[in-house]
Each structure stands twice: as structure tokens, then as C-alpha cells.
């Protein structure tokens, strides 16, 4: 469903993403782990078409993001790490607008909105202006806008930022449900608990390079030793930093 | 790294060079235009001199009005909404000191762009008046600087009052109330100050022109600083020095009084009003505007409908936008009221003066359009701000966003300026074909100026800036204003030639060539900026 080949992104003198290769299947819940500045958000922005790769290619649902961006975007829902939303609109207006941008008719939008606002507990404030929303409310709204047009692929950058435990639980459940129904979910996070709880597979990235790829179990039991994901993650990143960018693990 | 820095530096140097060239070109061109136009008018006898004086009064009145307006709008963010203020408020710094720093910042922000328009006016009129170097220095130090300062003081006081009142009333109610009060005062002023004749009756068929000039003289109200500044330039022959000293003293004493008052007000009300504004950030209201998104706009597909609805709702919910639009509308209304109350009988005038007023009216409408496009169309792309990703993620190209913005602006501004042109030409008693000629030129002007502002607005987009006024007064905004005024100048000049040839039964081929030139210029002004803007917005990454 998602195919990334030899992907690189160069900013002036910084190589943010370095020859990344990933293949993610339909219905898979995939976590992309890495410390701050590892290249996670840059990769995601290239996947959703907000940035152009310096090298390599990305296919989303069979569509080349550079050559067929509109088709790729049509099947993709995206939640950014910081949800900047139109401050002067209300949540309801924003969702109406987003639905119409995806050519949905008003009746379908309203039907979808009913379910989403109930599930995400937005009913009380969805008619108020976004300028008065808390970070968590904005994040919930961003999720609703990503779910609204029922995309085949969900790309989520730091999904739990600003969410209270109750909403975080709901979002996790929704992501699992969607994954089970065939939606491919790609999460970028440095919250290892989230990755551990949700993911079918995990990739670890640092300084733009892929350091490891596999299931949670495969990460926890390497060379017969039992490590939790946090210990394993820290070790991989530290070793990579010591060896100045050489690949440490090829897990599959 | 070294290469990168060198490239950036080279790019910056190029930008500075180009912008300096354009700004100096505007100042020099404006100066030459004003001097040659002024000399031409002076050659027409006493009446030409009076007309020139009235234009000068009008010019500085418009600048004073724009200064207060821009101070008010930038003041909202400079004094109250800037994250820097929020940080400074947490430090052990006197609030009055914070206010003073922000006051100077606001003065500079809101004045420098407008001053670029005032410099050619000042230099040109000064040259016509034969000012010497020391008189220029006096006018600058004791006239223009206090003039800018007084505008900022007035706007800052008014802003604090507005914010204070918004504690008891909605900001919208306060603005509407003030609008009604202003309108009432202006109406009363125009009612009582109408002078039927500026010139004595023995000037025969100049009576109508006299009425027109008398109506323009309403801008020379003696209690506003633009009048003092005009007087500082003029002065009667016998009392030149005394008059200049009087108006200099008036300026300086008013500015000092203003400084005292603003310090007093800042000490008592700044922090208080800051808290009022902070509290307002939490208020949210459900309004009927939401229905716009459900409205079935005929002939528009769902994405275009969404974009247009979003632009309209955002505009109506941003006070910095609609208030200024409303005030500009009010300013236009005053101009039209002036014309309607003049009871002009255009046919009483000679062909020369008929054409002069017609051209002046066209130039005024073009200037209004240039101001509107630079102020409202230029920031349209930047106003998407950090929410731009929503549109970038949508399943269509950014061209659709661009096209929607173009037609949205064109529909509103072209309709408005055409109405102004048609109504004013009606009041001026123009023949239909002459009025339609101006309308045709205005159509081309609208296409050019809207494309220019939209295109350059995308090229020089500032997505991190939320204040549209600050966006407009940035580097790209100034270039847009200058290029817009150059187009208006070309358009006015072409219209002069066309009218002249038409009235004197000149060559049809020549008329065709001039119109062709304007159409080619319009094509360039429309196509190039849109192309550049579209490329910029399509490749924008952050």
C-alpha cells in the first residue's frame, strides 16, 4: 500500500532523510520511531506531498506521489504533529470545508460528522471558533478531518500530542479499528509505549537512516536476550551515533 | 556552506538593489509627474493654482487618514497580540516602557510605506513653491515627523479606547457605533461647510469648477494636521516666515502634548486594556455565518465552493480586514457625496476642464483600486498562514486555490470600483461613451492590479505573519504598490491621449495603438505575476 524507495531529502547542507526504503502492506499499523530531528516528519511530509524528495520515489496505494499527487492525496488522510487550523473558523465549518475539498456532498459530510463528533466528544464545542480551542481539542479536530473522507491510508505524525488519557484511548481504538478494516496506518512517534501497544511493525530511524525494521517481538528478543522496546531503541540509537551513521541492524 | 551563504547574500543584495531601484524610481517619477502636472496647471492661470493647492490638501488628507488607519490596524497586533509583548509582560519591566517601545515600532511599521507616497508629493509641491534647502529641512523636521507622530498618538489613544470599550460591548458593536458617529459628524460637516462658490461670480462659466474645487476644499479642515502641513508648505508671500514658524510651533507643541497624553494613558490603561484583550482570546461564539458553507453557490463545484466560503467567512471574522474595508468604503462614499452635493453642471465648463476633472476622477478610482488590491489582495495567500497544509493536502492542484482567490477578489473589487466610476461619472455629467471608456480602462486596471497583488503576494508570502497590514507593508508589498502605481500612471496617461484624440477627431489608428499598448501592458501585468505566484505556491515547502 505504501512503497518508499531510495528516498532522500537534502536541506542545504543537512541530509534529513538518507536512502530510505520501506514497504507497508494494506491494513498494516506501522510505527516510525526515532529521536527528535531523526527525519520522521520530513519523511511524512514527503509521503503526503508537502515536500518534494531530493531523490527516490513514494507510491501511496499505487499512485506515485510526485507524478499523480491528486490521486495519492485523495486516498490519504493526514494529521500533522502541530495541528495548525484556520483560527477564525469553527470546528464544524472546518470539517464542512475539508469534506467539500474532497468533493463530498453536504449530506454525506453531515452524516460522517455526526458519528465522528460523538465518538471524539466534540459535540459541545464543535460550533465554537477554533481560536478558543485547547491543543487537545485541535488535535481531535485534526483527527476528525483526517477520518472524514474515509481514506485508505492514514498518516499520523505524533498522534498522542496534547491528548488527555481518555481521548488518547479513543484514538488508539479508532486506529486499531481502521487498521482491521483494511486502512493502512502509518504513525510517527517517539512515544515507545504507543508504538509497542499499537504496531504490527516498527521502523527505527536516526539522522535520516533506517536503523531497524521488524515486529515489536523481533525487537524485544534479539540474540536470545530479552529487552523491552525502550532499552532496545536507546541502544540502537546510541550505537548508531557512536559508529557515526553505519547501519547497526538489519532485522528482516 | 560558504557557497550557500554567498548565494543568500547575493540574493539579498539583488533584492535590496531591485527594491531600492523601484522605490527611487517611484519617488523620482512621482516627483517629475507632480512637477510637470503642477506646472501645466499653473500655466492655466489662477484657477490652475487653486486646483493644485486643493490636490495637495487632498493628498495629505488621504495620507493622514491612511496613517491613522494603518496605525490602528498594526497597533492591534503590535500592542496586544504580539507574542513578544506577552513575554515582556512577564519581565520586571515597567509597562509604560513596553508601551513606548511598541509605540515606536508601530510608528515605523505603519508609516514608512505610506511615506513613500508622500515623498514625491512633498518634493514636487516644494519645487513648485520654490522651497529652499533649509525650508525643506524645516518642513521635514517640524512638519512631516510630528505629522507622523501625531497620527500614531491619535491612533494609539483610539485603539486603547476601543479595547477598553470592548470589555462592555462586542468589538463589532464598538466599530459600528464609531462608524455611525463618524458618518454623522462628516455628514454634518459637509452639510454646514458647503461653499457654493469658491471663486467670485465674475468667473462666469468657471462657477461649476469652483463648486467642484470648493467641495475638494472640505479636506482642508483647519484642525487636522494635514491642513497644517499644507500651510507649512504654502504660506502667503508677505507672511511666509511667520506662517511657517507658526505652523512649525503648532506641530511641535501638539506632538509634545500628544507624547504627554499618550504616556499618561499608557501608565493608566495599557496593562488594563492588555488584560481585556487577553480575556477576549477565550471567547468563542456560534454565528449564522456557518450557513455560508452550506449555501448552494450556483455553478461552483464543491472544492471551489469550500475555498470561496472559507475566504469570505475568514474575511468577515477578521476585524483588521473588514473594518479597514468598511472605512475605505466610507472614504469613497465621502468622495461621491462631495460630487453629488456639488450640483455640477458639467456642460458649463470648457472642454479642457471637463477632461481634467474626468481624468482626475479616473486617476482617483485607479488609486483606490491600487490601494485596495495592495492592502486586501496581496496578503490573501499569506493569510492562509500555517493552515496552508490543509489546502496542500487537498486532492487538487494549488492552481485551483489561486484561481479561486483571483475570481473572489476580482468579483468584489471590480464591482466596487466600477460602481464608483459609473456613479462618479454620472454625478460629473459625463456622456455615456466617455463613461464607458473609463469603465473599459478600469476593467483592464482591475485585471492587472489584482493579478499583480495576488502573484507577488504568493512570491513574497509570509505565512508566519498573522497581521494582514504588516504583510502588506513588507518588502513585496511595497514593490506591489509601486508597480501598481506605475500601471495606474500609464493607464491615466493613455486615457489622456485617447480622450484627446477622440475629442479632437484624431487618428483612429493612433487610438487603436494606444489601447493596444494598454492591453499588452495589461497582459504582461496579468500573466507574469500569476505565473510566478503559481510557481511559488505550488513548490512551497515548510
Give how far B166 is from chain A: nearest CA, Å: 18
B467 inside domain: yes
Whether residue A79 contacts residue A22, with contact meaning beta carbons closer than 8 Å, is answered with: no
Helix (H) / strand (E) element for B528: namely: helix B508-538
Query: Are A4 and A51 part of one and the same domain?
Result: yes
Query: Are A129 and A225 part of one and the same domain?
Result: no
**To probe the interface with A, which of B280, B314, B389, B393 has the most A CB atoms within 10 Å?**
B393
Strands A2-11 vs A14-24: parallel, antiparallel or unpaired? antiparallel
User: A15 burial class (0-12, 13-18, 19+ CB within 10 angstroms)?
Assistant: middle
**pLDDT for the residue numbered A247:** 45
**pLDDT for the residue numbered B407:** 92
Note whether A73 contacts B: Cβ–Cβ < 8 A. Answer: yes
Each residue's pLDDT tens digit, B468-479: 877 887 788 888
**pLDDT for the residue numbered A48:** 92
Residue in the structure block whose three cell numbers are 481539542:
A137
**pLDDT for the residue numbered B203:** 41
**pLDDT for the residue numbered B198:** 38
Q: How far apart are CA B458 and CA A49, in angstroms?
A: 19
**CA angle, residues B120, B414, B372, in degrees to nearest 5:** 40
The residue among A116, A150, A184 that closes a domain is: A150
What is the DSSP track for B426-472?
Answer: HHTT--HHHHHHHHHHHHHHHHHHHHHHHHHHHHT--TT---HHHHH
B486 inside domain: yes
Over chain B (542 residues), the average pLDDT of each successive run of 10 is: 54 67 74 80 74 77 79 82 84 88 88 75 82 81 89 91 80 68 61 43 48 54 78 64 83 92 91 82 61 77 90 84 74 73 60 78 86 90 90 90 92 89 82 85 93 94 84 83 88 87 80 89 92 89 72
Q: Closest residue of A to B393, CA-based?
A: A73
CB-based contact A96 B539, cutoff 8 Å:
no
Query: Are A133 and A232 part of one and the same domain?
Result: no
DSSP-derived 3-state class of residue B123:
helix
Q: Which domain holds residue A221?
A: 1-75+153-252
Tell me the pTM: 0.76
B185 inside domain: no
Whether residue B257 contacts residue B234, with contact meaning beta carbons closer than 8 Å, is answered with: no
Q: Closest residue of B to A41, CA-based?
A: B542
Say how many domains are in chain A: 2
Say how many domains are in chain B: 2
B281 inside domain: no
B200 inside domain: no
Cβ neighbour number for residue A18 with a 10 Å cutoff: 18
Helix (H) / strand (E) element for B351: namely: helix B351-372
Note whether A145 contacts B: Cβ–Cβ < 8 A. Answer: yes
Q: Which domain holds residue B494?
A: 302-542
Residues of chain A short of pLDDT 70, as ranges, are 220-227, 242, 244-252
Size of interface A-B (CB pairs under 8 A): 110
What is the end-to-end Cα distance of chain A in Å, rounded? 19
**pLDDT for the residue numbered B201:** 38
**pLDDT for the residue numbered B238:** 52
Query: Are A81 and A121 part of one and the same domain?
Result: yes
Closest CA to A98 of A74, A68, A72: A74
**pLDDT for the residue numbered A184:** 94
Query: Are B221 and B339 part of one and the same domain?
Result: no
Query: Are B256 and B346 part of one and the same domain?
Result: no
CB-based contact B313 A89, cutoff 8 Å:
yes
B203 inside domain: no
Amino acid at each position: 500500500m505504501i512503497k518508499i524507495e531510495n528516498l532522500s531529502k537534502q536541506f542545504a547542507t543537512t541530509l534529513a532523510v538518507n536512502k530510505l526504503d520501506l514497504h507497508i502492506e494494506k491494513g498494516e499499523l506501522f510505527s516510525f520511531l526515532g529521536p527528535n530531528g531523526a527525519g520522521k516528519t520530513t519523511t511524512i511530509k514527503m509521503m503526503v506531498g508537502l515536500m518534494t524528495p531530493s531523490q527516490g520515489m513514494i507510491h501511496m496505494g499505487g499512485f506515485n506521489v510526485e507524478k499523480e499527487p491528486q490521486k495519492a492525496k485523495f486516498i490519504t488522510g493526514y494529521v500533522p504533529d502541530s495541528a495548525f487550523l484556520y483560527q477564525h473558523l469553527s470546528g464544524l465549518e472546518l470539517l464542512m470545508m475539508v469534506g467539500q475539498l474532497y468533493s463530498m456532498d453536504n449530506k454525506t459530510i453531515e452524516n460522517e460528522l455526526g458519528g465522528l463528533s460523538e465518538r471524539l466528544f466534540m459535540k459541545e464545542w464543535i460550533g465554537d471558533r477554533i481560536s478558543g480551542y485547547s491543543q487537545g481539542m485541535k488535535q481531535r479536530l485534526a483527527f476528525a478531518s483526517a477520518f472524514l473522507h474515509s481514506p485508505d491510508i492514514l498518516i499520523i505524525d505524533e498522534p498522542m500530542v496534547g491528548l488527555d488519557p481518555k481521548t488518547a484511548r479513543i484514538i488508539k481504538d479508532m486506529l486499531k479499528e481502521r487498521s482491521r478494516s483494511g486502512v493502512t496506518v502509518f504513525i510517527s512517534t517517539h512515544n515507545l509505549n504507543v508504538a509497542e501497544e499499537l504496531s504490527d511493525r516498527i521502523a527505527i530511524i536516526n539522522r535520516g537512516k533506517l536503523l531497524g525494521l521488524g515486529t515489536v517481538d523481533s525487537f524485544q528478543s534479539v540474540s536470545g536476550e530479552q529487552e523491552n522496546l525502550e532499552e532496545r531503541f536507546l541502544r540502537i540509537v546510541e550505537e548508531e551515533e557512536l559508529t557515526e551513521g553505519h547501519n547497526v541492524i538489519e532485522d528482516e | 556552506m560558504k557557497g550557500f551563504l554567498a548565494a543568500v547574500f547575493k540574493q539579498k543584495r539583488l533584492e535590496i538593489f531591485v527594491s531600492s531601484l523601484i522605490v527611487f524610481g517611484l519617488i523620482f517619477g512621482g516627483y517629475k509627474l507632480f512637477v510637470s502636472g503642477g506646472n501645466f496647471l499653473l500655466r492655466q492661470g489662477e484657477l490652475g493654482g487653486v486646483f493644485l493647492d486643493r490636490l495637495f490638501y487632498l493628498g495629505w488628507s488621504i495620507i493622514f487618514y491612511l496613517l491613522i488607519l494603518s496605525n490602528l490596524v498594526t497597533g492591534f497586533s503590535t500592542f496586544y497580540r504580539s507574542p513578544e509583548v506577552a513575554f515582556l509582560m512577564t519581565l520586571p519591566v515597567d509597562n509604560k516602557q513596553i508601551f513606548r517601545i511598541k509605540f515606536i515600532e508601530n510608528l515605523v511599521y505603519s508609516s514608512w510605506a505610506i511615506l513613500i507616497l508622500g515623498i514625491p508629493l512633498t518634493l514636487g509641491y516644494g519645487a513648485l513653491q520654490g522651497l529652499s534647502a533649509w525650508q525643506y529641512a524645516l518642513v521635514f523636521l517640524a512638519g512631516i515627523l510630528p505629522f507622523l507622530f501625531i497620527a500614531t498618538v491619535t491612533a494609539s489613544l483610539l485603539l486603547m479606547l476601543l479595547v477598553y470599550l470592548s470589555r462592555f460591548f462586542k468589538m463589532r458593536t464598538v466599530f459600528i457605533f464609531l462608524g455611525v458617529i463618524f458618518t454623522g459628524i462628516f455628514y454634518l460637516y459637509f452639510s454646514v461647510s458647503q461653499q457654493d462658490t469658491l471663486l467670485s461670480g465674475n468667473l462666469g462659466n468657471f462657477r461649476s469648477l469652483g463648486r467642484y474645487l470648493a467641495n475638494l476644499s472640505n479636506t482642508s479642515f483647519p484642525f487636522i494636521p494635514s491642513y497644517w502641513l499644507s500651510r507649512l508648505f504654502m504660506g502667503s508671500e508677505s507672511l511666509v516666515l511667520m506662517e511657517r514658524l507658526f505652523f512649525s510651533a503648532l506641530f511641535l507643541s501638539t506632538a509634545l502634548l500628544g507624547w504627554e497624553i499618550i504616556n499618561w494613558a499608557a501608565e493608566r490603561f495599557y496593562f488594563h486594556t492588555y488584560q481585556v484583550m487577553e480575556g477576549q482570546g477565550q471567547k468563542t461564539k456560534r454565528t449564522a455565518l456557518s450557513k455560508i458553507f452550506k449555501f448552494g453557490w450556483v455553478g461552483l463545484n464543491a472544492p471551489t465552493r469550500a475555498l470561496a466560503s472559507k475566504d469570505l467567512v475568514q474575511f468577515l471574522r477578521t476585524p483588521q480586514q473588514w473594518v479597514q474595508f468598511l472605512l475605505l468604503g466610507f472614504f469613497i462614499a465621502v468622495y461621491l457625496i462631495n460630487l453629488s452635493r456639488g450640483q455640477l453642471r458639467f456642460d458649463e465648463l470648457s472642454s479642457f476642464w471637463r477632461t481634467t476633472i474626468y481624468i482626475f476622477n479616473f486617476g482617483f478610482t485607479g488609486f483606490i483600486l491600487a490601494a485596495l488590491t495592495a492592502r486586501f489582495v496581496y496578503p490573501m495567500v499569506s493569510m492562509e498562514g500555517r493552515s496552508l497544509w490543509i489546502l496542500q493536502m487537498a486532492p487538487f492542484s494549488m492552481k485551483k486555490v489561486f484561481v479561486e482567490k483571483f475570481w473572489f477578489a476580482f468579483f468584489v473589487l471590480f464591482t466596487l470600483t466600477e460602481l464608483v466610476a459609473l456613479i462618479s461619472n454620472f454625478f460629473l455629467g459625463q456622456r455615456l461613451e466617455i463613461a464607458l471608456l473609463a469603465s473599459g480602462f478600469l476593467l483592464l486596471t482591475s485585471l492587472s492590479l489584482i493579478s499583480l497583488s495576488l502573484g507577488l503576494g504568493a512570491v513574497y508570502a509570509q505565512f508566519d505573519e498573522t497581521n494582514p497590514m504588516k504583510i502588506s507593508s513588507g518588502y513585496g508589498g511595497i514593490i506591489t504598490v509601486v508597480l501598481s502605481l506605475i500601471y495606474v500612471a500609464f493607464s491615466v496617461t493613455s486615457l489622456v491621449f485617447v480622450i484627446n484624440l477622440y475629442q479632437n477627431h484624431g487618428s483612429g489608428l493612433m487610438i487603436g495603438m494606444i489601447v493596444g499598448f494598454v492591453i499588452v501592458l495589461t497582459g504582461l501585468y496579468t500573466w507574469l505575476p500569476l505565473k510566478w505566484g503559481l510557481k511559488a505556491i505550488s513548490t512551497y515547502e515548510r
